[in-house]
Amino acid sequence: MVRTLVGAVSMPRDSERHAADGPILPGGTLGILGGGQLGSMFAMAARRMGYRVEAIADSADCPAARFSDRLHVGGYEDPAFLAAAALGLDAVTFEFENVPAAAGEALAAAVPVRPDPAVLFITQDRAREKAFLTRHGFECVPHRVVRSRSELVDACAVLGLPAVLKTAAFGYDGKGQRRLKVGDDPTSAWRELGGDAAGGPREFVLEAWVDFICECSVVVARGQDGTTAAFPPLRNAHANHILDLSSLPAELPPEVEAEASRIAIGILESLGVVGVACVEFFVTAAGRVLVNEIAPRTHNSGHLTIEACETSQFEQQVRAVCGLPLGSTRVVTPAAMANLLGDCWFDDMGNRREPDWAAALSVPGVSLHLYGKSEPRRGRKLGHLTAVGPTVAEAVTRVTLARRLACGHDA
Ligand code: AMP
């Protein structure tokens, strides 16, 4: 019997829980766990293809609500709510991985969940994810798992500074991370991340600082039959630990792109993913490709596939989850994407203002995506701009110009 091993726990796979009875065809109903923008873009793709979409979220005021046929609002820790939400769904996938493992299990008891909740369990925790990568021979950043101040001090001595301390669980978009420079007192970072707080995080990962020449990511879809389709690597630039710009083609040396794609596909195969996942990498000056992290879902860096590829990452997710043939990942045009953070809604004096969308859209090749989030907080992703162009350099120029025109500054 095929089982997914999660630490000492053995979990049944989708195929054991639910008889495989052919693809889920248009007209079927798909559930998406999480209410964010990845869910709304999934819903747009699925509804265009003739599916009903029901979002399962912990708040009614969420981007996915605008594009779903139905929204279930309740707690991700409430198995009864999740079991009720699953009624009538043909399959569920994720747009957000920071949910209790029990949430995935509660859904999986009622409906096929793709990828399997066991994948979520591994990838939602940096310590488990790195243990998985190491066990399967995928090279990741040198690191130590730390559970106390003294373990942190020891880890700093072993790995050296600079380094970055990250909470093992529930970290995203730079949340739960502190960079430690040479000479810093590591215990301040420990305190700032809540290491001493009652009910604070219990487990952290200290990572050596990687002096990378660039970051890239590979979005891969894997079908129930094991077929995989990888989008070409995306080149990513982060600001303050949050994705800022992505571009395609990445224009990395061909052997680096081939290696990143090979590793990403290998990871999805080892995890037994059915659906879409993204693997983020650091590329070093020596051409080494180190895994940074895995997202068991579509990814911010893949948003530009909507404009740039024959199939978008969201349509690909629909196809993979429904057991349909995967679409072509061919790049039809160079493209670049710039995130729009809440900062764009504030001027240099910190006063609220509306960005100048007309100015942004005056730039050739630019598309605007706004997620409909009500509150523009600094550092919060509220939308993105994509630009297509004859070359990737031109697409990057266009998208950064469009963002500067909209926001008045480069944010
Ligand atoms: P993460 O949430 O772990 O993907 O981190 C967000 C971003 O912070 C990464 O994409 C990098 O730009 C930066 N970062 C995180 N960890 C490291 C590291 N060990 N070395 C260098 N940069 C890092």
Residue to substitute in 97, 124, 159, 164 for testing ligand 1 pocket (most ligand atoms within 8 angstroms of CB): 164
- Does residue 364 register a pLDDT over 70? yes
For residue 270 and ligand 1, the question of a CB distance below 6 A is answered with no
Please state, rounded to an integer, the average pLDDT across all residues of the chain: 93
Query: For residue 329, what pLDDT is reported?
Result: 98
Query: Region 337-356: what's the mean pLDDT?
Result: 95
Query: For residue 186, what pLDDT is reported?
Result: 93
CA of 241 to the centre of ligand 1 (A): 6
CA of 156 to the centre of ligand 1 (A): 17
Query: Region 36-54: what's the mean pLDDT?
Result: 98
Query: For residue 151, what pLDDT is reported?
Result: 97
* 14 band by pLDDT with thresholds 50, 70 and 90: low
Residue to substitute in 172, 234, 241, 288 for testing ligand 1 pocket (most ligand atoms within 8 angstroms of CB): 241
For residue 97 and ligand 1, the question of a CB distance below 6 A is answered with no
CA-proximal residue: ligand 1, atom 19 (nearest): 209
CA-proximal residue: ligand 1, atom 13 (nearest): 241
For residue 206 and ligand 1, the question of a CB distance below 6 A is answered with no
- Does residue 159 register a pLDDT over 70? yes
CA of 202 to the centre of ligand 1 (A): 21
Instruction: Name the CATH superfamily, with its identifier, for domain 142-208.
Output: ATP-grasp fold, A domain (3.30.1490.20)
Query: For residue 266, what pLDDT is reported?
Result: 98
Which residue is associated with the tokens 């991700």? 76
* 15 band by pLDDT with thresholds 50, 70 and 90: low
Q: In what order do the strands lie in the sheet with 143-146?
A: 143-146, 204-208, 163-167, 177-180
More confident residue, 187 or 173: 187
- Does residue 179 register a pLDDT over 60? yes
Query: For residue 6, what pLDDT is reported?
Result: 42
CA-proximal residue: ligand 1, atom 18 (nearest): 209
CATH number of 212-407: 3.30.470.20
Taking the C-alpha atoms of residue 67 and residue 44, their distance in angstroms, rounded to an integer, is: 6
Please determine, looking at this structure, whether the domain spanning 20-113 carries the CATH number 3.40.50.300: no
- Alpha carbon 391 to chain centroid distance? 26
Q: Do 78 and 107 form a contact (C-beta atoms < 8 A)?
A: no
For the chain, the structural domain boundaries read 20-113, 142-208, 212-407
Q: What pTM was computed for the model?
A: 0.94
pLDDT digits (tens, 9 = 90+) for 281-333: 999 999 999 999 999 999 999 999 999 999 999 999 999 999 999 999 999 99
CA of 142 to the centre of ligand 1 (A): 13
